[in-house]
Amino acid sequence: MTTYTSHYINGQWVKATSAEQFLVHDSSTEAVMAAVPVGTAQEAERAVLAARAAFDNWAALPVETRAAYLDKVSAGLKARTDEIATAIAGEVGMPLKLAKLVQVGAPVWHWANFAKVAREFAWEEKVGNSLVVREPIGVVSCITPWNFPLNQITLKVAPALVAGCTVVLKPSEIAPVNAMILAEVIHEAGLPPGVFNLVNGSGPVVGEVLASHPEVDMVSFTGSTRAGKRVGELASQSVKRVALELGGKSASVVLPDADLEAAVKGTISACMLNSGQTCSAHTRMLVPAARLDEVKTLAKAAIAKLTLGPSLLETTRLGPLASAVQRDRVLGFIAQGIAEGAEVIAGGASKPAFDTGYFVQPTVLHVKPGDTLAREEIFGPVLVVLTYQDEDEAVRIANDTIYGLGGGVWGGDEAHAVAVARRIRTGQIDINGGPFNSHAPFGGYKQSGNGRENGVFGFEEFLEFKSLQFKPA
């Protein structure tokens, strides 16, 4: 067990003022694997003021200097890949091999890529008699989730820093170890004091300070829609910029001419990544009513190949959920779905055969559009299948949600699949299983949030426009 006793404020590790701790549990064994201090409102404010004091000098540095720091952080994270991946496999439950690739490999790439984006960015342009310049927005609060912890931290902190902003980070109390390692890497990279700060704490205490403090210019939050509404409410009092990446209930629309086997396999893969603990997971599969029986057969076969097991076991393809609370929540949803009349195609609410760990069987249910499981974000390894009679109904069902984050369309005619995708109100749609593109903007419509992450689009979120007007010659 690793015990942390300090927060990272103003360039140094500062011993926590409270002896209270968050205990971090290994999701496969349920054993306590680490402890981090529970931060106070005063510690959060201290971090904000440190970030404010550091802002002017950091923003004034050449872009190349800031980018070089990001390259150092990328290299530092890469050197500690095994350690970080093992920590996240324990915290979150993702199988170790996949955690190295996704949970660590992606952040390593993003830190370096944001440095590249900043170096190549057009910081100013002439528009008529004006010179339009881009400048850092200021002090940024970053409040991040537990499901892809280091990656979601990276998509906020890295672009904010290279844009010239200073940062206060509050990581998830469920998965904070990776953030503590990042702080160590940033310290070793030699960033000036106050540029990056980390305070562990709860949302109602530390999070509320970071969302409401008058010296914070922007809040970037990833988490539940309910918590995102609270962040927006608090931030609005001082008219901060707010970027929100929230919930999802993404639809995978399988058109009548699709390769059905590929569509079912691909949808299940897009649903079950990280045991379904993915905001953009394709958790609703919409299929032609006439092909439902074929879909059931294919879904059962695909689910049977998802070997459930502890995250550090080599043969595991699907790990546990991140916490007992999350496991119980997901099992409650499955039981509710069955009570409402859902047909169990695979899996179910029975407990898998493990003595320890927050395990849930990968589950596929046939439901109706108005059912709870067709509408609520479950955030676990649960796929619901809905049927439609024609294309217009498929689009209507896909759009009949408060969310709009991800999705997919499968069809034999790619041009037609694209035409259907254009009718779906969501931020990102995969055509016939197109892979995730880390250069493309990621974010949602409707109550899935606002703002975008990844690449130049995510970088621009942390910049302001300024127009300098000149007298025409």
Active site residues: 245, 279
- The CATH code belonging to domain 250-437 is 3.40.309.10
Phi, psi of 173 (to 5 degrees): -75, -15
- Residue 254, SS3? strand
pLDDT tens track for 95-144:
999 999 999 999 999 999 999 999 999 999 999 999 999 999 999 999 99
In terms of Cβ atoms closer than 10 Å to its own Cβ (0-12, 13-18, 19+), residue 242 is buried
Q: Is the CB of residue 178 less than 8 Å from the CB of residue 13?
A: no
pLDDT of residue 158: 98
pLDDT tens track for 199-252:
999 999 999 999 999 999 999 999 999 999 999 999 999 999 999 999 999 999
pLDDT surpasses 90 at 351: no
User: What is the rounded average pLDDT of the residues 289-317?
Assistant: 97
d(Cα 390, Cα 235) in Å, to the nearest integer? Answer: 44
Q: Which of 273, 377, 281 is nearest to 329 (CA)?
A: 377
DSSP track, 55-77: HHHHHHS-HHHHHHHHHHHHHHH
d(Cα 315, Cα 328) in Å, to the nearest integer? Answer: 25
- Residue 271, SS3? helix
pLDDT surpasses 90 at 473: no
Contacts with 19 (C-beta within 8 Å, 6 or more apart), sequence order: none
Q: Which of 57, 214, 67, 63 is nearest to 141 (CA)?
A: 214
User: What is the rounded average pLDDT of the residues 140-169?
Assistant: 98
2-246+447-468 to CATH, choices 3.40.50.620, 3.40.605.10, 1.10.287.3510, 3.30.70.270: 3.40.605.10
Contacts with 245 (C-beta within 8 Å, 6 or more apart), sequence order: 152, 221, 222, 279, 442, 443, 444, 448, 449, 451, 453
pLDDT tens track for 385-410:
999 999 999 999 999 999 999 999 99
Residue ranges of the domains in the chain?
A: 2-246+447-468, 250-437
